[in-house]
Structure 1
């Protein structure tokens, strides 16, 4: 934890403490005089870079309770700020605390306005901190720090009065449902304050709370007294419980243990409560109770500097970790590469030994690899009739009334003869050669081998419909269904070359219906299929 400076301010003096290694050291006392202020400047010059926390314990601390319309957001903050300036226009140390909503009427916000009404008591000390560039983290009030004391001591009663002795005197703070509503300071020295009867001061405060309607008739007020260990027995004898007042006397060392600051204020005065409050403030500092003004700019600069240091440390750590991981990866990769090199050398040596016993190769390895690649390309993209035969076979399975009588297939290669490749007869020798002399073969396009892509292919299908010869409508329907099934195949176009019978209007009808016609093939048709892969 960072070292801190803690300042306890009363009306006539300032106590300076140092917080180091979770321990409170001090105090250095500076009276509210010119000499005391000069000594304070010298003190800040020695410890000026440490953040400071100013705890005020002044009699000029005012509390006002108001009901304001329930407004949220920025508009609500502006409304409270305007009303706060109207109430305390002569001091910059003012704050508005929203403490819930009223249970009656339109449920307005219950707002507590508090301020240090005499800023001249703080101005010299705060100006000295600003002059020495001391980071002022916040200005705090002993009364409002009592909320944490009640929470840690488990005082969850509805009406609680916290009484404690300080250097400035006896401080009494009233809490309603855990929220501070009123505080008063009986100004006296610690010795004089302890002589004042707590019961007498509690009765006066209880009477005042009843007059301002904070306490109703029959309400029980629980009084929590933080006292020096040697005063507990005397206070227990003087403070007797009544029907409306119940006392809870807690020794300061027991309270320090409950506040998790036991042992933090070693060697300091044990008869006043401000060391315990200062240790609690140093260990878990809340947000500033009052604005710090220009003196707080150095603390904000310190926070920005610490944030930059923290970010730099995180980036440096990430860089170191990243570098270590990269070095580890490089080491692993280097080791793997060495292993691969040795393995490659081993396989290359075995290959060289195997090749040394073989006869010389007919061609280079690169040419052989290219030949294998061309062979695989031709086998995959070459113009083979198997694909179109598979298409026709699939259509025949769905058309059992159709029977194939002849198939003529050819690949449509530019420059190739138009005759069929499969199903047709070969031609004679070329005319360019003489008798007994072989003719020169024309160069073949690479498309004939499927390089770089498979060429278009054509298939002529001659088939007939196996049905009654005189049922012309059924014959024509079976042919159309067969042709449509072939045409539904992707990239396939179908052309009807010959119908089973001539139905053109220009032809003359002849013969007898139902009588066979000699020399004429009935129910036969011809289709041309074109497939573009």
Structure 2
């Protein structure tokens, strides 16, 4: 939740209320430094209990001095600075310190700019209602220390420069910077804003400041002092005819738009451009000093602590939600992976069940077992069957072109006279000679002449193994006129030529031969 942020500018005569709108400072109210103005300001505080308040003051009786302290760190440094401020400014609670860097000494002492409002009455007039209303005071700052922090960063700033800024409610603020460090600050009330009278007063104040610096031997008695005027738009032309250079004073105009651009601030506009410039610098510059006592900043610090706790709680909540979402996503991914695994297992089980389940065109495992037992029993009754099959396999290994599709064996010749007449002696004699085997297969793709040659080689190999070979089907083209016609050598290759052979046991008289039956 955004809270309204008000900027208060306190002078000896009034308090003005400013707000930042579209990066520009706009004055929204003005309260004179009297009882009626304080009462009106209290009504504003009561109407804005959640607002933030930043205070910038430009008052007389402000003291600035540079001190050197021994090196210290952390809590010891804060105690050392607080003790030194209390020693220097016993009668006012409004004091602050601005770090300038390390001194060029063997022990590298720290150089600090101490500032204080020695007359606390003008500030107490407006800060008392803030404290009574428990307003959230962000901080209390002065133009002197704000300029000491930021103005040395201006480009092409002379080594010795007296900066003069005219605020409509407070007057002429003079800041003397030596090598980028503030040496003194002084405020003078303006008698008249008419250009000629204002220029005359500027010349008088510049001459007094130079005489004071020369008495301190801060500058050479005959050296010229550069006076830089912070000018609002149009004010430079009005003052230029009256602010003429002299051997001891050189005037240089610093237009506020150029200053704002150099310090990366929005260009101020209106008749109170200098005040808006300092407030914009306060709003954006993050000042390193604070004149507010600790008691005044208690509500703001409590609000910041509560806001930090709220943001930390929100961050922890978001982190917890993020972790919960991450865990939920991981759980969902794990569940999805588990579902995929379960589906795969189900498919594997279905495949296994399908493999184990007998098909209509395949024998069941029980039939296969029974068939295996019958085969073992048959081998026991026909001891020469295994030897015959082994002999045929060895003969066919030399001819891989012949792809065997089917092998059929039978005991005894189906055309023998013993089988027809039921002669037991001849049947027993046939059993001792071995089984009859039929080979059904096909030759690899080749010309028909090559297929015939391969067929003759296979027949010869089987005859050498001790079989009578009878060719039932050769790779020949049989025409209806009963003439055999071989395919031409240039004809297309014939794939899968059939070759069927009938193997009969060799006769005792050695009459085994190959008979080719068309």
* Cα gap change, 1:294 to 1:20, in 2 (>3 Å): farther
Distance in 2 between residues matched to 1:9 and 1:306, nearest whole Å: 29
Distance in 1 between residues matched to 2:48 and 2:192, nearest whole Å: 29
Structure 1 residue 253 corresponds to structure 2 residue 253: no
* Cα gap change, 1:36 to 1:259, in 2 (>3 Å): same
After superposition, where does 1:327-476 map in structure 2 within 5 Å?
A: 327-356=328-357
Match of 1:238 among 229, 236, 242: 242
Structure 1 residue 174 corresponds to structure 2 residue 171: no
Distance in 2 between residues matched to 1:275 and 1:221, nearest whole Å: 27
- Cα offset, 1:132, TM superposition: 1.7
Structure 1 residue 33 corresponds to structure 2 residue 34: yes
Contact 2:161 2:176 in 1 (8 A): yes
| TM-score, scaled to structure 2 | 0.62
- Cα offset, 1:2, TM superposition: 5.8
Structure 1 residue 227 corresponds to structure 2 residue 231: yes
Secondary structure of the equivalent of 1:89? coil
Secondary structure of the equivalent of 1:238? coil
Contact 2:71 2:107 in 1 (8 A): no
Match of 2:198 among 187, 194, 209: 194
Distance in 1 between residues matched to 2:326 and 2:101, nearest whole Å: 55
* Cα gap change, 1:353 to 1:168, in 2 (>3 Å): same
1:229-270 Cα shifts (integer Å, max 9, x gaps): 22212322333345554332022233333333325x56xx33
1:312-345 Cα shifts (integer Å, max 9, x gaps): 3322332343344334334433332222221111
Larger Rg computed on CA atoms: 2
After superposition, where does 1:63-212 map in structure 2 within 5 Å?
A: 63-66=64-67, 68=68, 70-73=70-73, 77-100=78-101, 110-151=111-152, 153-166=154-167, 167-188=169-190, 191=193, 194-212=198-216
- Cα offset, 1:188, TM superposition: 2.5
- Cα offset, 1:79, TM superposition: 4.6
1:184-223 Cα shifts (integer Å, max 9, x gaps): 1111367267354423321211111111222234555332
- Cα offset, 1:80, TM superposition: 4.4
* Cα gap change, 1:29 to 1:316, in 2 (>3 Å): same
Q: Which has the higher mean CA deviation after the structures are superposed, 337-346 or 215-224?
A: 215-224
Secondary structure of the equivalent of 2:162? strand
Q: Which has the higher mean CA deviation after the structures are superposed, 327-336 or 113-122?
A: 327-336
* Cα gap change, 1:346 to 1:80, in 2 (>3 Å): closer
1:491-524 Cα shifts (integer Å, max 9, x gaps): xxxxxxxxxxxxxxxxxxxxxxxxxxxxxxxxxx
Distance in 2 between residues matched to 1:65 and 1:325, nearest whole Å: 58
Number of residue-to-residue matches in the alignment: 356
Unpaired segments of 5 or more residues in structure 2? 359-363, 367-518
- Cα offset, 1:27, TM superposition: 3.1
Q: Which has the higher mean CA deviation after the structures are superposed, 124-133 or 1-10?
A: 1-10
Distance in 2 between residues matched to 1:138 and 1:35, nearest whole Å: 25
In the other structure, the counterpart of 1:16 is 17
Contact 1:158 1:176 in 2 (8 A): yes
Secondary structure of the equivalent of 1:254? helix
Q: CA RMSD in A?
A: 2.9
- Cα offset, 1:148, TM superposition: 4.7
1:277-302 Cα shifts (integer Å, max 9, x gaps): 11221123323431333110111112
Contact 2:115 2:145 in 1 (8 A): no
In the other structure, the counterpart of 1:214 is 218
Q: Which has the higher mean CA deviation after the structures are superposed, 190-199 or 110-119?
A: 190-199
- Cα offset, 1:91, TM superposition: 0.2
Distance in 2 between residues matched to 1:63 and 1:207, nearest whole Å: 19
* Cα gap change, 1:81 to 1:337, in 2 (>3 Å): closer
Distance in 1 between residues matched to 2:81 and 2:334, nearest whole Å: 67
| TM-score, scaled to structure 1 | 0.60
- Cα offset, 1:31, TM superposition: 1.4
Distance in 1 between residues matched to 2:10 and 2:183, nearest whole Å: 22
